[in-house]
Amino acid sequence: MLEDALNERMTYPSTINMRHAPEIIAVQAEVPEGVYTILFPERRIYTPTTEVFIGWMIGSSILLSAIAFLFMRNQIRPIRRLAVAAEAIGTGREVPWFKPEGATEVRQAAAALQIMHDRLRRQITQRTAMLAGVSARSSHTAYAHEAATGVDARVARKAGLFVRYRRHGAHG
């Protein structure tokens, strides 16, 4: 590389001797008057800052990669907990251990999951209460039918006798 740069700038033939003496580089150029030998200290051509720079780049890359790994691990942990909680809620189990944590987006998703869980729980409670009311009402209607007609409505349905009970003002 040094020889190519020297040949680009000089029209005369030249050679480079890297082992002329310890820490000395000799450049010989043939000119019409004779051969010139120019001696350079190696530190003028070669600098150790390249190795230092590369060392700093590699060291800082390793350090920053380790920091990024730790950061990503701390960001992924709340997402995994959110997934486990969502799976538990989806199967109907309670998740009292679950608390929103992590990045803002993960906390927002966790809060939305908890709101959804509360809504589902309320809906199930309301549906259960409604079905219990319908069941109690059906039982009450069947008892009223039996009292009015003397025929057990459940027995009549099983027997294929579809008996309708008519209330006051109801059309049947």
Please determine, for residue 165, whether its predicted confidence score (pLDDT) is greater than 60.
no
Q: What is the pLDDT of residues 129-150, one digit of tens each?
A: 888 776 665 666 666 656 666 5
Asked if residue 117 belongs to a domain, the reply is yes
Nearest in space to 29 (alpha carbons), one of 3, 59, 55: 3
pLDDT of residue 172: 46
71 and 87, same domain (yes or no): yes
Output 152 or 29, whichever has higher pLDDT. 29
Please determine, for residue 6, whether its predicted confidence score (pLDDT) is greater than 70.
yes
Please determine, for residue 168, whether its predicted confidence score (pLDDT) is greater than 60.
no
User: Residue written as tokens 């990503």?
Assistant: 72
18 and 103, same domain (yes or no): no
Highest mean pLDDT among 4-13, 35-44, 65-74, 143-152 belongs to: 65-74
Query: 37 - beta bridge partners?
Result: 28
Output 86 or 18, whichever has higher pLDDT. 86
pLDDT of residue 70: 93
pTM of the model: 0.45
15 and 74, same domain (yes or no): no
- Tell me what the pLDDT averaged over the chain comes to: 79
Alpha-carbon distance values, 107 to 23, 45, 82, 112, 163 (Å) = 63, 58, 9, 9, 58
Contact 109, 82 (CB under 8 A): yes
For residue 163, name the pLDDT band (cuts at 50, 70, 90). very low
26 and 54, same domain (yes or no): no
Give the span between the Cα atoms of 32 and 13, in whole angstroms.
11
User: Residue written as tokens 């000799």?
Assistant: 26
Asked if residue 75 belongs to a domain, the reply is yes
Can you read off the two tokens belonging to residue 130? Answer: 């409604």
Asked if residue 104 belongs to a domain, the reply is yes
129 and 62, same domain (yes or no): yes
Q: Indicate the number of domains in the chain.
A: 2
Asked if residue 77 belongs to a domain, the reply is yes
Q: What is the pLDDT of residues 57-113, one digit of tens each?
A: 999 999 999 999 999 998 899 999 999 998 988 888 888 888 888 888 988 999 998
Structural domain boundaries, residue 89: 50-147
Q: What's the average model confidence in pLDDT over 109-137?
A: 83
Contact 95, 104 (CB under 8 A): no
Contact 14, 31 (CB under 8 A): no
56 and 118, same domain (yes or no): yes
**Residue 65: which residues within 8 A CB-CB, separation 6 or more?**
none
Highest mean pLDDT among 29-33, 143-147, 154-158 belongs to: 29-33
